[in-house]
Chain A
Amino acid sequence: MKVTSNDFTSTAKLSLMDDEMRRSVKQATTTAYQKRIDLMFEAGHAHGEALRQRAAQAKRRALQRLPDLLDQAEAKLTANGAHVLWASDGEKVNQLVLEIITRHAVTSVVKGKSMVSEEVGLNEALEDHGIEVIETDLGEYILQLADEPPSHIVIPVIHKSLTSIRDLFIEKLNMTPTDDGHEMAQFARRVLREKFLTADMGITGGNFIVSETGSICLVTNEGNGRMVTSLPRVHVALVGIEKMVATLEDFAILTQVLPRSATGQSMPVYTHMYNGPRKAGEPDGPDEMYVILVDNGRSAIFNSGYAQILTCIRCGACMNACPVYQATGGHAYGWVYPGPLGAVLTPLLVGLERARPLPHASSLCGACKQVCPVDIDLPQMLLDLRHDLYHRRAVDPILKWGLKLWAFGNRFPALFEFGGRIARLLTGDRSLKRLPGFLSRWTNYRDFPPFARESFRRQWRERRGD
């Protein structure tokens, strides 16, 4: 997927004017946020917090042993008859999938939701080779019809209203007009059912891999995952190398926090665990199963100071809680991962130079850390990334020299006080409606109060002495 994160400020400005999109995003995120609170703390606040910490520990344990767990999972999966392949980058992923397609004479593919496939641009690569690719997650299917990227990692179609989806179905699929969301879903279901029955290959992502059993775990709500993995002859799972968990017990902890955090459900409608292809005598499942373990920048993160971001379980709670995301929607972030997660992960995966505004696309309010089911310190990572940006001189010269001047003034109390007096002379007694240059960005939205006639320190000196 093309990276347009450097345009964050201008894209966000356009997004802020899209009232329909903002209404949809605000409504869906606040609903998910509230449902999360209800379900996460259904057995009390202390219980929910403890669960969060246990989940964080499960993922951190796995991260510490990541190389070992990957080897263990590979051995288990192979023993169960699955093929395990390794992809260092996006190009390699697409090449491997195309090779599998050729080997098994595949002409049509159905897909479950996979953010990794968005990262690597898999759909485009397959379509370029004349393969029909159909998204089967309803949200992703709508976006495929609309030719738009997802704007949320769990609710990909969050930016679209029901009416725009209705119009799309009428235009692209000749649906009999209806405003009933349930009827529209039923209609899409009938269309997709045909695709499931005729596809040669199914592609999915994976929420976790349990290394002790070699199980690819997938949670879904629509049941499409089950059909994608059991009806076609070949199943390919694309899974980021960070998705490891050591044991079934750890998986059992994480599977409690994931649906609660993502959609406010105590458990998802479907929890799948795939250990390999269909064995002799089994009634269903694919003839062949491939697991592609995708690096695509993750090893570099593993070896950096930002390794903790690899414990993310992709629940989207940080987006739902983020007032910046709620204002701009997801597309402004310019790549696959929006919101606080994207503000951290995008610069790390695509390079800081290609996502310079993202670490600054946050008021550092900390809501993301508060809701994160694995307690990732996203605000601290944003601060560290800002530090990295500053070091690479990717900083506004006005801001840079302004800060240096400000810091100098703060090293000398007398100079600091003098600065305040100058400011008072400039502002006078009244609130400012308009400031010049860079500072006009403040007065575009708010007044600035007058500086005090006498600073506190001066008053203290006069009343109390030194």
Chain B
Amino acid sequence: MHDSPKGKRASLFVTCMVDMLYPETGWAVVDVLEHLGITVDFPPKQTCCGQPAFNAGDRTSAKQVAIQFLKAFKDAEAIVTPSGSCAAMVRHEYPILFADDPQWFDEAKRLAAITWEFTEYLVGGLGISDLQLRLPKRRSFAFHDACHGLRMLGLGAAARTLLKNMDNAVVEELEESDVCCGFGGVFSVKMADVSGAMLKRKINGIQECSAETIVTGDVSCMTHMNGGLARTPSPKRVRHIADVLADGLPDKPS
């Protein structure tokens, strides 16, 4: 069901949040891919995948945004994105969103089959589990499984493997690493009190964790957890897996 991306050009879907809030994470993805000799392009017409509207129930708006995605990536051979959630939206929800739309359905199916989350692309798609990376100093990490990546794409193992195979990286386990941080997109403002209670539970777990840094695969969850951590005395922060891996590159380009 998933086309092999080997030998194909990688088109970066940077995601709206990385584009506007964390451009360095976008570069981390580019640097790691280019370190492996992969050709990366950035289709400039891309915006968002449409998930915020889809999850809010507004499928008309979601479709408008998704069509922009289909147009932007019309020449793509393989799409790589630093988000399990956005990848799951394209792979699982686009075929639903365009089920009754003969004009776009085939293209939606085609892009659904060539869209990869970053770590999934490396390990599952290219079959690379050791990126030959080395951190200058010994550092400890623990992984928080972002929900959509974990349950809609079956991720988790790939990122841990990449991290474990980086020299000087010690990987520990975060208690309840597979329990949601409470973000949930619009849920975080619509049901803010419940979301806040879920965040508190996650923050408590992070504070008790022995690892220096928490790593995750989605900047949305990262934003949520870091936003909560900023209100505690804890110096711990959550980082995106691409940023952590890029720290281990021989000498950071760009």
Q: Which residues of A contact B50 (CB under 8 A)?
A: 407, 410
* B52 located at the interface, meaning its Cβ lies under 8 Å from any Cβ of chain A in the complex: yes
Beta-carbon contact of A411 and B65 below 8 Å: yes
Of the candidate stretches A119-127, A252-260, A277-285, A436-444, the one touching chain B is A436-444
How many A residues have CB within 8 A of the partner chain? Answer: 70
Q: Given the known A-B contacts A323-B182, A362-B187, A370-B151, are A456 and B23 also in contact in the complex, defined by CB atoms under 8 Å? A: yes
Beta-carbon contact of B21 and A449 below 8 Å: yes
Q: Given the known A-B contacts A399-B190, A446-B199, are A456 and B14 also in contact in the complex, defined by CB atoms under 8 Å? A: yes
* B161 located at the interface, meaning its Cβ lies under 8 Å from any Cβ of chain A in the complex: no
When C-beta atoms are compared, the residue in chain A nearest to B219 turns out to be A449
Q: Given the known A-B contacts A386-B57, A447-B230, are A441 and B19 also in contact in the complex, defined by CB atoms under 8 Å? A: no
Q: Interface range on chain B: under 10, 10 to 19, 20 to 34, or 35 or more?
A: 35 or more
* A455 located at the interface, meaning its Cβ lies under 8 Å from any Cβ of chain B in the complex: yes
Q: Given the known A-B contacts A324-B198, A327-B198, A449-B226, are A403 and B193 also in contact in the complex, defined by CB atoms under 8 Å? A: no
Q: Which residues of B contact A13 (CB under 8 A)?
A: 193
Q: Which residues of B contact A447 (CB under 8 A)?
A: 226-227, 230-231
Beta-carbon contact of A445 and B44 below 8 Å: no
Q: Which residues of A contact B164 (CB under 8 A)?
A: none
Q: Which residues of B contact A389 (CB under 8 A)?
A: 57
Of the candidate stretches A62-70, A306-314, A457-465, the one touching chain B is A457-465
Beta-carbon contact of A410 and B151 below 8 Å: no
* A406 located at the interface, meaning its Cβ lies under 8 Å from any Cβ of chain B in the complex: yes
Q: Which residues of B contact A263 (CB under 8 A)?
A: none
**Which residues of chain A from 1 to 58 have a CB within 8 Å of any chain B CB?**
9, 12-13, 16
Number of A-B contacts (CB under 8 A): 207
* B157 located at the interface, meaning its Cβ lies under 8 Å from any Cβ of chain A in the complex: no
Beta-carbon contact of A410 and B68 below 8 Å: yes
Beta-carbon contact of A451 and B20 below 8 Å: yes
* B177 located at the interface, meaning its Cβ lies under 8 Å from any Cβ of chain A in the complex: no
Q: Which residues of A contact B93 (CB under 8 A)?
A: 383
Beta-carbon contact of B58 and A367 below 8 Å: no
* B179 located at the interface, meaning its Cβ lies under 8 Å from any Cβ of chain A in the complex: yes
Q: Given the known A-B contacts A413-B47, A449-B21, are A442 and B192 also in contact in the complex, defined by CB atoms under 8 Å? A: yes
Q: How far is the CA of A16 from the CA of B198 in the complex (A)?
A: 10
Beta-carbon contact of A455 and B64 below 8 Å: no
* A191 located at the interface, meaning its Cβ lies under 8 Å from any Cβ of chain B in the complex: no
Beta-carbon contact of A16 and B18 below 8 Å: no
Beta-carbon contact of B227 and A446 below 8 Å: yes
State the majority secondary structure of interface residues on B: helix
* A366 located at the interface, meaning its Cβ lies under 8 Å from any Cβ of chain B in the complex: yes
Q: Which residues of A contact B113 (CB under 8 A)?
A: none
Beta-carbon contact of B45 and A383 below 8 Å: no
Beta-carbon contact of B191 and A420 below 8 Å: no
Q: Which residues of B contact A395 (CB under 8 A)?
A: 56-58
Beta-carbon contact of B193 and A12 below 8 Å: yes
CB distance from A305 to the nearest CB of B (A): 12
* A369 located at the interface, meaning its Cβ lies under 8 Å from any Cβ of chain B in the complex: yes
Q: How far is the CA of A387 from the CA of B227 in the complex (A)?
A: 30
Beta-carbon contact of A451 and B21 below 8 Å: yes
Q: How far is the CA of A399 from the CA of B53 in the complex (A)?
A: 10
* B104 located at the interface, meaning its Cβ lies under 8 Å from any Cβ of chain A in the complex: no
Q: Given the known A-B contacts A324-B198, A406-B61, A459-B23, are A9 and B193 also in contact in the complex, defined by CB atoms under 8 Å? A: yes
* A429 located at the interface, meaning its Cβ lies under 8 Å from any Cβ of chain B in the complex: no
Q: How far is the CA of A460 from the CA of B18 in the complex (A)?
A: 13
Q: Which residues of A contact B178 (CB under 8 A)?
A: 367
Question: Of A396, A420, A446, A449, which contacts B19 at CB under 8 A?
Answer: A420
* B42 located at the interface, meaning its Cβ lies under 8 Å from any Cβ of chain A in the complex: yes
Q: Which residues of B contact A420 (CB under 8 A)?
A: 19-20
Q: Which residues of A contact B47 (CB under 8 A)?
A: 409-411, 413, 416
Question: Of A390, A416, A424, which contacts B57 at CB under 8 A?
Answer: A390
CB distance from B201 to the nearest CB of A (A): 7
Q: Given the known A-B contacts A16-B197, A407-B64, A445-B228, are A460 and B184 also in contact in the complex, defined by CB atoms under 8 Å? A: no
Q: Given the known A-B contacts A399-B190, A406-B61, A456-B18, are A323 and B53 also in contact in the complex, defined by CB atoms under 8 Å? A: no
Beta-carbon contact of B57 and A383 below 8 Å: yes
Apart from A403-B61, A466-B44, what are 4 other A-B pairs with CB-CB below 8 Å? A16-B193, A362-B184, A396-B190, A455-B19
